Amino acid sequence: MRMRRSVLVMMLIVFMYLTGAGPGGNVLAADEYELLDILKDTGESEQLRLEVLDITGEINTLEDNIVTAMLDLLKDTEDSALLRLRAFDVLCKAGPDVRERVTEDPDIDRALTHLLQEGEAAYEIARLDSETQKMAAPHLATLLLNTESEKCLIHLRAAAAINRIGMDGVEEGLELAQLESVRNALEGLEELEREIADKRYRFGREGATRLPRRYEVLNSTKVMSAHVSNWQGGFLTAGEYQYAVFYDGDGQLTAAARNLGSSEWDIERLPDRFDGARSGESLVVDSEGILHYTGNMHNQRLVYFRTREPGEISTFERIGKMVGREENRMAYPNFFTCAEGKLHFSYFHGGSGRRIQIVNVWNAEEKTWQRVGVLFDGRGREGGGAIPRLGPDGRWHLATAWRVTPDMNDNRRVIHAWSEDAKNWETAFGEKVELPITPDTEGVVVDPVGVQQGLTTLNLGFDTDKRPILSYQKYDEEGRNQIYNTRLDEDGWVMHQTSDWEWRWHFGGRGTQTFYIRLSQVIPTENGRLIQDYAHRVEDPDGFEKRSQYHNALTMRSVLDPDTLKPLLNVKLPRGRELWPEEMLPEDPDQKVRFIEDMGESDEDGVYYVLRYTTSGEPEMKVFKLKGVEY
């Protein structure tokens, strides 16, 4: 029966396409009752019912029984918001007589106010016909003005809907006094927007760390007079000491250290030169105070330095092996602390699209590395890997995608697994996952997106209920880049398209890429909101360039609807010279500098350290001691 219904709807759609016009008043007469049955059948698929609404929306004159069915659907608060909104749209476009029936029915008035409180309807109203927006305007104004606080979700949804429609689109539906009140309410959101834009976060492997929004510079110390050819190293504070490892302007690996009570830095040149490798780097201090550094590898032999003595950079030695196997084609090294507080080391081995991910663990007593095993194995066909991350739910999470070839646009299949102990892994639905995870591992696929579909920039975040959200970009049905946030709900992984861009970033090929779109993970804030930072080089070119100059290219922030993960507000983040106190900036506004935030943590409450180095002009590297003064 349901199959015959689908065929019937498809035949009508084909008829409309071939005739080049919408059907006349009684073209549906032969099957009118069956189509009405589909519309009323809440057990029928939402997609089929939406297709019926699309067909009826093309009818020149709606029969009375169709209008009645639409009105009944609009009043049914148990049905989906999209179906009810689409029914409202059809009714609004059906002519003055039908619109009069809509406006005179008090039950419809209440149903519309209820409908427009829902996130999906509040967002989609801006896509609909101008007549629909005009009739919705008084209800949106009521929601905006009758909610007590701009921090109320319904208030924000109404404001976002009006902003998306534009005041020109809603003013015809409002009386003059109401229109002025709406304008004043929207202006009142500016303070909230400033508050949201002022919050600062540092994004790292352990998630997002809240930072002060204003700093006071306590002092600064000069490390050395040098440019940096490539920041493959780290800057961290550990106890009473501070360390920096980097490749200087001549490409020489350099280590610097100081006691925090001194402004004098010890400098050591280490036997390695930067050769253009673009993969990750890592600097860490283990539980015994031993320094470990690795980097400057992209399908190359191991580059690894370790101090003999705790904290003494003069005792750095180059170590030729960790465990002695699978160490000749290494890339993307990472030190991380996993379950039981043990230091681990992860890296990829093999060429892009053919890699395996290997994990070692440090034995502090014996001062040796031991092989844990292979976490991801592409079986010679693909490559993938992820660093385990401890979530707010107390579980360790893995989130990544497979890459089939070295082409950056050949990523596919977003995957996820979690574990209570970072040893025994399972799917989000409790099914055991055997290691290594391979392209054939069942139950871990979150989004089966294929190659050449724009998949890139995958991040793991969480909502206020500690549910994991995988954030990434891929092409939509029209081939345009969009941000997708896919969240684990009770019924499984649910994909939400967050952005609505009209542009496509054509990317692909091998080697280093210039990212025109960037995005962060979804962050739950302390006041219960969800935010996500992003950058779009075409949408905001000025901000993109200014923030890139100071090594932070995320230019916009969205406040997301907690139900739909659609943006309620979009605000510009501080950019360029607005990012740091004036004392930290070079006198020449055209001089290029980079700021590196501390990977460690100061023992002094509210104190932060930031390293600044120049990439042009007078060579200089300085460290600033800051005090957070506003949060």
| String of DSSP letters for 37-70 | HHHH-TTS-HHHHHHHHHHHTT-SS--HHHHHHH
| Residue appearing with tokens 């501070």 | 242
Q: Which of 91, 86, 85, 90 is nearest to 114 (CA)?
A: 85
Q: How would residue 26 be classed by pLDDT, with cut points 50, 70 and 90?
A: very low
Closest to 552 in 3D by CA, of 586, 520, 510 = 520
- Give dist(CA 170, CA 588) in Å, integer: 47
Amino acid, single-letter form, for residue 430: G
pLDDT in tens, 241-298: 999 998 888 888 999 999 999 999 999 999 988 876 656 668 999 999 999 999 888 8
Q: Tell whether the model's pLDDT for residue 173 goes beyond 80.
A: no
pLDDT at 230: 66
**70 has a pLDDT exceeding 90:** no
Residue 148's pLDDT is 61
Residue 136 near residue 125, CB atoms below 8 Å = yes
Answer for the pair 269, 252: CB distance below 8 angstroms, yes or no: yes
Please choose, from the candidates 117, 66, 121, 123, the residue with its C-alpha nearest in 3D space to the C-alpha of residue 95.
Answer: 66
Least trusted range by pLDDT, from 49-63, 242-256, 510-524: 49-63
Confirm if 401 and 413 have CB atoms less than 8 A apart: yes
DSSP string, 234-289: EEEEETTEEEEEEEETTSEEEEEEEETT-S--EEEEEEEE--S--S--EEEE-TTS
Please state, in angstroms and as integers, the Cα–Cα distance from residue 419 to each residue in 359, 384, 416, 428, following that order: 16, 18, 11, 9
pLDDT at 414: 97
pLDDT band, very low/low/confident/very high, at 24 (cuts 50, 70, 90): very low
Q: What is the pTM of this model?
A: 0.86
Is pLDDT of 46 > 90?
no
pLDDT surpasses 80 at 395: yes
The residue-averaged pLDDT of 433-461 equals: 95
Q: Is the pLDDT of residue 28 over 80?
A: no
pLDDT at 25: 41
**What sign has the CA pseudo-torsion 37, 39, 45, 51?**
positive
Percent of the chain with pLDDT over 70: 87
Quick one: tokens of 190?
């500016």
Please give the distance of CA 551 from its chain centroid, rounded to a whole number: 18
Which residues, 6+ apart, have CB-to-CB distance to 389 below 8 Å? 205, 206, 207, 396, 397, 398, 399, 460
Q: What is the CA radius of gyration of the chain?
A: 29
pLDDT above 90 (res 356): yes
What Å distances lie between residue 29 and 35, 41, 584, CA to CA? 10, 19, 75
> Among the listed ranges 110-119, 207-216, 579-588, which one has the minimum average pLDDT value?
207-216
Question: Could you tell me if 41 and 48 are in contact, meaning their C-beta atoms sit under 8 angstroms apart?
Answer: no
pLDDT digits (tens, 9 = 90+) for 111-130: 998 999 999 998 999 888 88
